[in-house]
Structure 1
């Protein structure tokens, strides 16, 4: 009887395996054969796939599950491809009402798509956060007209919700936690990031411009009405990644970005950097890209709320080392840090920036500021807020300015 029972179990597992393979083949066939304007309907249930699903060269396609945590596509043990779902060279694509789990690489990557909407989508790596997790959860890159609405990203070893080298972006009503970076806008133009919650990441929200990318300079980014809190997770990015240098305890970090407006946010209990404004030069990484501009300019931080529990900042990462060994900051860390590295080519004879390139910080609750004077080797760190008491014109993103 025992042998029959074992045989029955073996047959059952073999049957399940065949069924999962059949579902993967069926979904991939649908993605290949769907006509422009069509809908690919995904069933309710949990399905384990061994390889990536892909959609290419299609227009006006909707990929629709039965709901977050109702349609679950698991790529645990993936052997073929890296992404869970990849969409490329397409137009007006909607991905909605589904969960992607444990892909070998990125959860959902869309590349060269004109019009991409993620709605009610969850991407996660189950288990504790670790460097072996995929880099990005939602990963539109080189796309136009990106909408990420009511989505969830968990466990990415780089960024949970990431938009790179894209134009015309809305990220709203979404949650990101247990990632290295919760939400990241990189080398992208005309972006609205609002009504999101980023928590228990290493860094809550990042706005970066980096070298050696196809789209050289982003800008016109508005970050508002977000709840960014408790982003104190130790950094678990693979060594060498740019986000591996983000210190735990970071609420918002602006790196070499221009024309960024940050307002009506709550930055709560981010123990190291409520908001950081820095130049790429502070990373001390070499720059070989002649078209790259490494300075942050035209930054407006206003009407936000800052709160932090008493206690020291992190001792880890580059900021951690600066806090303790260079700046001698201990308990009394300013909420807003500016590295003090400005483009010398833009300064007048008195060392002042042009009005439209200034760093303006005003009307924030519990506001405290430090200019780290990194350009002069941290010799004259200043907590004087007066040089930042200015006002820039509101950033216009060509998206109707949000809601």
Structure 2
């Protein structure tokens, strides 16, 4: 197991590459080596490599080959007229702590590989040819992409095709641009988990949407924040699909825009759509097709969702389907259902036990507090953090205030904010600059968010940003984490 070091500024390809003081200078030198299981290739922080990096050799499941970084400073950067990192048939690979930008093709492209992990990788301005996604995997198995950031790319954020075993965890995609671009495009794949991601297409120049999940089998999409785009989640064909506990908003611009859509491109069977907060858009959940088809749409369950600020109905069913719409909540003014007479007369899609409330925000706040108590009681967790939302409809220039801890709980009755973003919260608090404003927090959980109107886009709709935070109960033994999401409704600010 050998560690090879590469330093574009101070290295030389005449060196051995096996110590920091004898680092190689180029990635092409690494490509000339026969990497073995357990080997690592570490790129010096601050380095810039203007070349495609081809990974040709496989690690083993117990000893993967790792591509990472060393030293201090900014992450090493790979630029290329082709792909950033490219691989075919190499398996058991870990890629971490790098930046890839300004490439002609994808930042990462891999085909016919197994057991890849990509973590803490930043990808920006890739796909200048608008082909594939910023991260592309094809005909592969067991791929995990986590804690990575994709911004301002040409083409899809993620393009996943014919992959069995794919996890997208806690990633951020902002503005996947192009006429055919989605934040996530996933085709003909199985055993899928998309969880904890923040995907924002608000400012993308794409007529498409956030997640396109086509002909999937065994998929779970949960706990994501999805913003903007022509649609939130398009799952037009598939089997055994769970879409739950997502925050989906800002999908409008078209009369057909929907939060969740299915039934348009093939048979759709066993969908469970539950616990989602769907707001600021056109349609809610749609079971439809652009033309008459003979696809089957069976066992579609839509329940325990919240629908707010929609211009169309919470549920639309205008193609033959079986399922149910129950225990959902609509704010006043949102139409519950739009079901074609033929479907209604067939009695195959039942509607029952739904409610309309005057104020969704009040209902959600009460529900969150109750859930926190129930979670603590059932799981016996010492500390429970619950997601926080700040909605800004108007702005006077003053700070928008709240407290992150008021809906959290601890077994010993003590709570403290210890981390916010990626930094520790000191005794004098912490101030961070976000995408659209500045936020100050203190250890008691109080926050003050001040908008910077110079950063706001000049259009209607809304934008959002999220901050992660960590709390404990005054000890180092019990802790939990969650996020604060700030929603800025531009319609009120720009009017």
TM-score greater than 0.5 by the shorter chain: yes
Q: Which residue of 2 aligns with 1:141?
A: 138
* Matching of residues 34-45 of structure 1 within 5 Å: 34-45=35-46
| More divergent stretch after superposition (220-229 vs 182-191) | 182-191
Normalized per residue, the structure richer in helix is 1
Q: Which residue of 2 aligns with 1:387?
A: 349
User: Is this contact kept in 1: 2:40–2:67, CA < 8 A?
Assistant: yes
Partners of 2:351 and 2:168 in 1: how far apart? 29
Cα displacement (A) at 1:133? 3.8
User: Is this contact kept in 1: 2:102–2:128, CA < 8 A?
Assistant: no
Q: Which residue of 1 aligns with 2:280?
A: 308
Q: Which residue of 1 aligns with 2:213?
A: 207
Alignment partner of 1:73 out of 53, 78, 83: 78
**Is 1:226 equivalent to 2:204 in the alignment?**
no
The higher radius of gyration belongs to 2
Distance 1:295 1:104, change over 3 A: same
* Higher RCO structure (Cα 8 Å, ≥6 apart): 1
Alignment partner of 2:305 out of 361, 364, 368: 364
Partners of 1:257 and 1:388 in 2: how far apart? 21
1:105 alignment partner, SS class: coil
1:28 alignment partner, SS class: helix
Distance 1:261 1:43, change over 3 A: same
Normalized per residue, the structure richer in strand is 2
Partners of 1:124 and 1:383 in 2: how far apart? 46
User: Is this contact kept in 1: 2:105–2:132, CA < 8 A?
Assistant: yes
Partners of 2:233 and 2:148 in 1: how far apart? 20
TM-score normalised according to structure 1 size: 0.64
Q: Which residue of 2 aligns with 1:111?
A: 111
Distance 1:256 1:304, change over 3 A: same
Cα displacement (A) at 1:32? 3.7
Distance 1:62 1:181, change over 3 A: same
Distance 1:196 1:388, change over 3 A: farther
Distance 1:18 1:381, change over 3 A: farther
1:209-231 deviation per Cα after TM superposition (whole angstroms, max 9, x unaligned) = 3xxxxxxxx400000000111x2
Cα displacement (A) at 1:158? 3.0
Q: Which residue of 2 aligns with 1:181?
A: 182
User: Is this contact kept in 2: 1:116–1:143, CA < 8 A?
Assistant: no
Q: CA RMSD in A?
A: 3.5
1:48-75 deviation per Cα after TM superposition (whole angstroms, max 9, x unaligned) = 41x4210113212100024995211122
User: Is this contact kept in 2: 1:31–1:40, CA < 8 A?
Assistant: no
User: Is this contact kept in 2: 1:68–1:120, CA < 8 A?
Assistant: no
Alignment partner of 1:275 out of 226, 237, 260: 260
Partners of 2:29 and 2:96 in 1: how far apart? 19
The runs of at least 4 aligned residues of structure 1 exceeding 6 Å deviation read 16-25, 381-386
Q: Which residue of 2 aligns with 1:85?
A: 85
TM-score normalised according to structure 2 size: 0.53
